[in-house]
Amino acid sequence: MKDIPTAMKWLMNSPRYTILNEWGKSVYNEKKGIEMFLKIFPDYYTSEELTRNSDSYNLENLFLEIKDSFYSKYGYYPKSELVSKYNGMLNSLYDGGNIRFVYVDELLQLSVILFIATLLTWDDKNDDLETYSICFRFTLFLLNDVCIFGEIPSKSVFQDVLPRFLKDIHIVELSEECFWTIMAFTLAHELAHEYLSLRSNMSHGDDRKKNIDYEEEFEADRIAYDIVLNNIIEANPKKIKLKNYTYLAPMMYMDFFDLFYYTDRVLYKKRIPIIDHPLPNTRKAALFRIVDDDKYDFDTEDGNDLYNCFLNSFDLFKEELLLKEQRGKLRTVTYTSRRERLEG
């Protein structure tokens, strides 16, 4: 694979064809994923059950579900296709050229689910020193090697590292449910760009003014969260029903980006230029204002508990990272010259 120009790592200013064609590579492998899962958790599911599960719970079905919700809520059926590949970008995007598509990088999908599973495990077992230490190091690995440098974890990470701390099937299931809610949110956000661009009758393709239109970003977040919360509340039968205890998962998603930027600042004293979206904390505050509306009435207790567990580890990571950096304990994982090269 060609080296990806720096800006592609985080921004979305690359010509669209590269995403569709030239870099059309996928690292997702359902069969291998199931095999690895069964090695870590041999006692809970059969291979047939897992295959059936991923036949119904997958990104493509979720995408269709969100399109249906869009139609029933906003009277508009989005036309975009879904593209999910690996390009080392921590991003999703909407492209409104001749072929409209929503793109979600596999790097984003993988790092989000592992990030949540690690933080929830960490909180659950933070009195156990070994788990504490491995969860810190793995979170750092995710934010540093995977998110900053765009690397997909090697096979040995899945075979040797994950089984050392991901032992609780319940936590893995909770994390997966949070993951689906986050994907629903991000897909709905991108489809909202399609909807808003047509509504305002302006071109939303390559020539869009990326760094000015924060208003549209907040509106896309509002629509996306509205769709997610309605999926949670509504009783209609759905292919993919989001769990009510995941209702704050979009906040975890914002926290994930926040911690990613934070790690880059602490290790490399860099500020990743964020020109395409408002800052994660600003977006999170806006999301809280939405969910506080009385029209979203459902049981939020489990969701609040889950988010608090997540936040405990989130805070721990922030403290530990800074402390260890100040004591010079992170030198072996600080790849300064490699980070410089990313700047191009």
Q: Is 235 helix (H, G, I), strand (E, B) or coil?
A: coil
- Assigned token pair, 127: 């009195």
The residue among 218 and 335 lying less far from Zn ion, judged by its C-beta, is: 218
- Dist. CA 294–CA 278, nearest whole Å: 26
Residue type, 231: N
Shortest distance (Å) from residue 128 CB to Zn ion? 40
168 to 207: interface string for Zn ion, x by CB under 5 A:
----------------------------------------
Are residues 116 and 216 in contact, defined by beta-carbon separation less than 8 angstroms? no
The residue among 103 and 122 lying less far from Zn ion, judged by its C-beta, is: 103
Shortest distance (Å) from residue 198 CB to Zn ion? 15
Q: How far is CA 256 from CA 49, 137, 334, in A?
A: 31, 16, 20
Shortest distance (Å) from residue 268 CB to Zn ion? 26
- Dist. CA 142–CA 320, nearest whole Å: 15
Q: How far apart are the first and last CA of the chain?
A: 18
The residue among 174 and 220 lying less far from Zn ion, judged by its C-beta, is: 220
Of 260, 279, 283, 6, give the one whose Cα is nearest residue 108: 260
Shortest distance (Å) from residue 232 CB to Zn ion? 22
The residue among 8 and 114 lying less far from Zn ion, judged by its C-beta, is: 8
Shortest distance (Å) from residue 188 CB to Zn ion? 11
The residue among 125 and 204 lying less far from Zn ion, judged by its C-beta, is: 204
- The C-alpha torsion from 233 through 55 and 106 to 145, rounded to 10°, is 90
The residue among 181 and 197 lying less far from Zn ion, judged by its C-beta, is: 197
String of DSSP letters for 137-179: HHHHHIIIIIIIT-PPPPHHIIIIIHHHH---HHHHHHHHHHH
Residues 208-227 that bind Zn ion (CB under 5 A): 217, 220
Shortest distance (Å) from residue 125 CB to Zn ion? 36
286 to 315: interface string for Zn ion, x by CB under 5 A:
------------------------------
Of 110, 116, 101, give the one whose Cα is nearest residue 26: 110
| Residue with token string 């190091």 | 137
List, in sequence order, every residue forming a beta bridge with 102; answer none if it has no partner.
82, 94
Are residues 296 and 229 in contact, defined by beta-carbon separation less than 8 angstroms? yes
The residue among 101 and 138 lying less far from Zn ion, judged by its C-beta, is: 101
Residue 111 C-alpha from the chain's centroid: 7
- The residues near 204 (Cβ < 8 Å, ≥ 6 apart) are 94, 96, 193, 194, 196, 197
Shortest distance (Å) from residue 57 CB to Zn ion? 25
Residues 220-259 that bind Zn ion (CB under 5 A): 220
Shortest distance (Å) from residue 100 CB to Zn ion? 15
Shortest distance (Å) from residue 107 CB to Zn ion? 18
The residue among 177 and 213 lying less far from Zn ion, judged by its C-beta, is: 213
The residue among 102 and 220 lying less far from Zn ion, judged by its C-beta, is: 220
Binding site for Zn ion (CB under 5 A): 217, 220
